[in-house]
Structure 1
Amino acid sequence: MKYSICMVSDFFYPNSGGVEAHVFQLSQCLLAMGHKVIVVTHSYGSRVGIRYMTSGLKVYYCPYKTFYKGCVLPTMLTTLPLLRNIFIREQVDIVHGHSAFSTLAHEAMLHAGSMGIRTVFTDHSLFGFADTSAIVTNNFLQVSLAQVDHCICVSYTGKENTVLRANVTSHRVSVIPNAVDSAAFTPEPSRRSSDRITVVMVSRLVYRKGADLLAGLIPLACRKHDKVRDVLVQGDIYINCSLTEAFCIAIVEAASCGLQVVSTRVGGVPEVLPPDQIWLTEPTVESLLSGLDAAVAEAGRPSALSAWDRHRRVASMYRWQEVAARTQDVYDIVYLSSGPLSGKFMIAVLFLLRLYSAFLEWFQPREDIELAADWQRGFRSANQPLQH
């Protein structure tokens, strides 16, 4: 069955990050499989309105201003008129929200539920349970996910975390890992030095990525390896200092380029690579230094995997086409099943949204909304009847 899918997140291009890349790559593969896919996000500066990307991917940059860390202000009601218009225009069958941080994703899923549209949510992060931020986010997530048809997590550790903090039953959560465009991340051994080991870290300089651990590690490593001053140029070893990760796409990209990986043993990281392609350490400077020493020693052994061996392994394990196929299976599940509903507060919220939707249906009937032309000729959504 072919679907009209609406991906929604506050995080999308031109912003950069793991969620942004995930939404784009998944959308491209679903388009290639014959589905119709659009993306809804907020405006970025002067980028407002409809834009088209590779393969005719249609992106709605809605005129919403960001409120906190790139997310729009949560209002529940003000986003409904425009999102309803988009859902009707594009004959959307499934709304797929991304990221627990994304206000726009949660509101879109709520509105879709009030309109009888199936919903899927992908959680890309791990959260704690004790700090104020986590408590607020987790309570909000419980409300939002109470009416979502199905959830996707990028690791089994992520699934356990989501089930516990959002009070979601485990059978409503599937694990579908991230992937890598292995054609874009290939080894180039000729650019490596034959007389030194180079250690690379590519990461955002934020607390959860372990930037403070790296600051403590570099001077110690340089005292032990006097040629590491040329670090971060061409790599043999990739180091990841994250304090929390649901998956960590960066280590997959590094392994695809042929690098040996040293990483903190946090979140879903131990699930990502085979043991002979990653040295796992505790999130301390001393443990990272020991792991780096072991990786440097391993790199000098004749038995070490070649860069192309590492690349071929990753290319066979992580493919966006496989992610898209498994995501399509989730769409089949939610489209053919009845959606969940739990919690008195959630019932009250949906009741209000349905009243608002009824008013909008009177104020602007759906038959007065012009349907959007499809980029893919011959596409027919699951909700669109056959023409005789």
Structure 2
Amino acid sequence: MVSDFFFPQPGGVESHIYQLSSKLIDRGHKVIIITHNYEGRTGVRYLTNGLKVYHVPFFVIYRSTTFPTVFSFFPIFRNIVIRERIEIVHGHGSLSNLGHEAILHARAMGLRTVFTDHSLFGFADATSILTNKLLKFVLSDVDHVICVSHTCKENTVLRASLDPLMVSVIPNAVVAENFRPLNYVEPSPAPPLGETNGHPFGTAPAAVPHHQLGPHDPITIVVISRLFQNKGTDLLTAAIPRILENHTNTRFIIAGDGPKGIDLEQMIEQNVLQDRVEMIGPVRHEEVRDVMVRGHIYLHPSLTEAFGTVIVEAASCGLYVVCTQVGGIPEVLPSHMTVFARPEEDDIVAATGRAIAALRAGRVRTDKFHEQVKNMYSWTNVAKRTERVYHGISGAIGEAEFYGYEIAGAAPAGGQARSGVRSFALIDRLKRYYGCGEWAGKLFCLCIVLDYLLFLALEFWYPRADIDICRDWPRKAVENGGRDSSKDGGKDGVK
């Protein structure tokens, strides 16, 4: 797994990489993570479950993204890949420089590659145009792409001109056990066979004592977000005074930091809301649940979102979710858990008012949310589906099974036949890049040729035989009944 975005920085991409890697290890695979260094973290670190992280010392320029160099990352990347006997390189994040460069270099080394897109981008502004051209460059030669929602898939297919069949949708998930409501009750153990203990299914379900809010009970609205423009902080700044004016017995708790935090602080001072709006600053991911259970409603005013893991965590904690109807958010939770609003100040104020009224009238049973979210989302399921992608690109399962039809023999309606497994031959790679544009295609081909020449130079100056092979961390037996791969030196299932 390669990305600029990883712990100790909090965030959805960071959590996704960690949880997915941990579950793949549980399934008997070897997983390492490559990211840049953070303050106090340089070199190799081991996390829980034997997950190894390489913190590479690279210059960070903006929002934890390293300076793009194209070629300087190759020597250390090659060294790590050979030392760890990597077979598949999985990059994460459209704005992750390390992820893009790793995919480029991995293809030069003859490794299978996967890319996961976690975000949405437009098509008109300069930033989006440049990002989309970069994405088209990198994904021209990738084996498979994963998106976290169907909206994200449509966006990525259009931005990078991809064949939709080579893009899978695998959503994020949540560790429901870490996001339990405040008064959550564990389900009672199953009785002996034949006894039902008064319950038709033999086990009393877990429950959260339901308390209907009265017309004068205080309501707390929680916001946990990076305070950036794309997260809707400007909308939040404008909406909070109006919400508090319309609903007297209501207060806000805001967690997170960012450049827009100063706007929130000025709004609080101008409207004298210090006793009704609490700003607690950045919180660690393990502290998010403790903040959420202090509230009744979770407000998510984001302007763009591919998935929105935080709203799943909020629902798991028993909060009624008010969120903007943008990106992949409508796909995340069922309608009875959410109130949708357009990304406009007036609509956010109105939607929050509807949510408050619904809670006070007892029309929403938030005590049922946790068990429902627990049944909907699972990182184990995400790992199994990602593992299937790995098997598909490596040839462990046939093309007909992986893609749904025999790619080599037939093409989809209106489509063009292609091989499901990408060729590593340099001439075939150049053909794929040449079609990226009249001028860009030639520039991309030049980059690929230089990258391949650098690879040959490294193979000559620093032979593989001179690179020590790392011993693998003892791994667990595969969940589906496979043998324990730690007994044979970890030669199977390396990711």
Normalising to structure 2: TM-score of the pair?
0.73
Percentage identity across paired residues of the two chains: 47
Gaps of 5+ in 1: 1-6
Q: Which residue of 1 aligns with 2:413?
A: none
**What is the distance in 1 between the residues matched to 2:385 and 2:307?**
17
User: Which of 71, 76, 93 is 1:82 aligned to?
Assistant: 76
Cα gap change, 1:231/1:319 in structure 2, threshold over 3 Å: closer, same or farther?
Answer: farther
Counting only pairs closer than 5 Å after superposition, residues 158-307 of structure 1 correspond to structure 2 as 158-189=152-183, 195-229=217-251, 230=276, 234-307=294-367
**What is the distance in 2 between the residues matched to 1:249 and 1:113?**
31
The ranges of structure 1 where at least 4 consecutive aligned residues each deviate by more than 6 angstroms after the TM superposition are 190-193
Gaps of 5+ in 2: 184-208, 252-275, 279-290, 396-419, 424-428, 435-440, 475-485
- One-letter amino acid of the counterpart of residue 216, structure 1: A
CA RMSD of aligned residues (A): 1.9
Asked whether the 8 Å contact 1:155–1:175 carries over to 2, the reply is yes
Q: Which residue of 2 aligns with 1:115?
A: 109
Shift of 1:352: 2.1
**What is the distance in 2 between the residues matched to 1:374 and 1:52?**
12
Q: Which residue of 2 aligns with 1:3?
A: none
User: Which of 457, 462, 473 is 1:359 aligned to?
Assistant: 457
Q: Which residue of 2 aligns with 1:326?
A: 385
Deviations 1:260-299 (A, max 9, x none): 1111100000000001111111011111111111111211
**What is the distance in 2 between the residues matched to 1:24 and 1:351?**
34
- One-letter amino acid of the counterpart of residue 377, structure 2: Y
Q: Which residue of 2 aligns with 1:43?
A: 37
Q: How many residues are matched?
A: 377
- One-letter amino acid of the counterpart of residue 198, structure 1: T
Asked whether the 8 Å contact 1:12–1:41 carries over to 2, the reply is yes
- One-letter amino acid of the counterpart of residue 360, structure 1: L
Deviations 1:217-273 (A, max 9, x none): 111111111111356672111111000000011111100001111111000000000
**What is the distance in 1 between the residues matched to 2:211 and 2:470?**
51
Structure number with greater Rg is 2
User: Greater shift after overlay, 166-175 or 65-74?
Assistant: 65-74
Q: Which residue of 2 aligns with 1:374?
A: 472
Cα gap change, 1:192/1:122 in structure 2, threshold over 3 Å: closer, same or farther?
Answer: farther
Q: Which residue of 1 aligns with 2:143?
A: 149
User: Greater shift after overlay, 84-93 or 292-301?
Assistant: 292-301
Shift of 1:193: 9.8
**What is the distance in 2 between the residues matched to 1:191 and 1:201?**
23
Cα gap change, 1:312/1:383 in structure 2, threshold over 3 Å: closer, same or farther?
Answer: closer
Asked whether the 8 Å contact 2:212–2:359 carries over to 1, the reply is no
Asked whether the 8 Å contact 1:199–1:228 carries over to 2, the reply is yes
**What is the distance in 2 between the residues matched to 1:174 and 1:235?**
36
Normalising to structure 1: TM-score of the pair?
0.93
Shift of 1:192: 8.6
Cα gap change, 1:231/1:184 in structure 2, threshold over 3 Å: closer, same or farther?
Answer: farther
Q: Secondary structure, in 3 states, of the residue corresponding to 1:201? A: strand
**What is the distance in 2 between the residues matched to 1:212 and 1:348?**
43
Q: Secondary structure, in 3 states, of the residue corresponding to 1:36? A: coil
Shift of 1:383: 7.6
Cα gap change, 1:246/1:46 in structure 2, threshold over 3 Å: closer, same or farther?
Answer: same
Q: Which residue of 2 aligns with 1:130?
A: 124
